[in-house]
Amino acid sequence: MDEKEQLVYYKQTGDLQVLGQLYAPYMSLLYGVCFKYFQEQAASQDAVMQIFEQLVHKLRIHDVDSFKSWLYVFARNYCLMELRKQKGKMHVDIEDNMSESEQKLVTDDEGKWTEDDFDKVHECLESLSHDQAACVRLFYLEQKCYKDIAEETGYDLNKVKSYIQNGKRNLKICMESGKNGK
């Protein structure tokens, strides 16, 4: 059974064994995600189990297309809700997280690039802030890793990451607005 069949099967039967098979492969990634929010081992482990408990019910009701992205969004929302509940223990910079959450997991509109698009990329790169443009260039065009970029530019490693993330997003918005304008 592949993931989709397992989802359908679970929805019909409620067989926890199947849900376990679905869930287990994502546990270590989920644990990482939870740790990012809670920054505590026990709390993160509990969260992983709690998310599973919630899936037991949710997956019997909802039709889920892509389990991985659905699970990610669900887990993140769960963590944010939990943090909101225990206010004061907040460790997370929401701003920083929002920029990432806006990204889509599946990007299938890539592929057909024309000459115009390449020109457009350069135009759009110009429109980015200096930091973002520099990091995006180094990362995408020169294929350097964050560490090298940080060394080269002197930026903090986390800054590099967020420049690239935001730069990529802005670039995409810029490209799409161009397409719509045509």
Partner 1 sequence: MENNYQLSRIHNYIHGLMSREEMHALEREALDDPFLQDAIDGYKMQQGVDVKSLSLLQQRLERRIAEHAQRKNRFYFSWQRLAIGMVGAVMFIAVCTLLLIRHLPNGQNTNVTEVELMDDALTQTVVHSLPIGDAQPVDGWEAFSAFVSTHYSGVNTEKRLKVRFKVGQDGLPYDIQPQVATNQPIYEEIIQVLQKGPKWEGKEGYIEIVFPE
Binding site for partner 1 (CB under 8 A): 16-17, 19-20, 23-37, 39, 41, 44-45, 48-49, 52, 68-69, 71-72, 76, 100-101, 103, 105, 107, 139, 143-148, 164-165, 168
Q: Cα(88)–Cα(82) distance, rounded to whole angstroms?
A: 12
Instruction: Please state the closest distance from residue 116 (CB atom) to partner 1, in A.
Output: 24
Distance between CA atoms of residues 90 and 92, nearest Å: 6
Smallest distance, partner 1 to C-beta of residue 124, A? 17
CB of 181 to partner 1, least distance (A): 25
Tokens 């993330």, located at residue: 165
Nearer Cβ to partner 1, position 114 or 143? 143
**CB of residue 48 vs partner 1: minimum separation in angstroms?**
6
Query: 16 near 23, Cβ under 8 Å?
Result: no
Instruction: Give the helix/strand (H/E) hosting 181.
Output: helix 157-181
Q: Determine the residue type at 154.
A: G
Name the residue nearer to partner 1 (CB basis): 91 or 179: 91
Angstrom distance (rounded) from CA 105 to CA 70 = 10
The phi, psi pair for 37, rounded to 5°, reads -85, -45
Of residues 25 and 123, the one with the C-beta less far from partner 1: 25
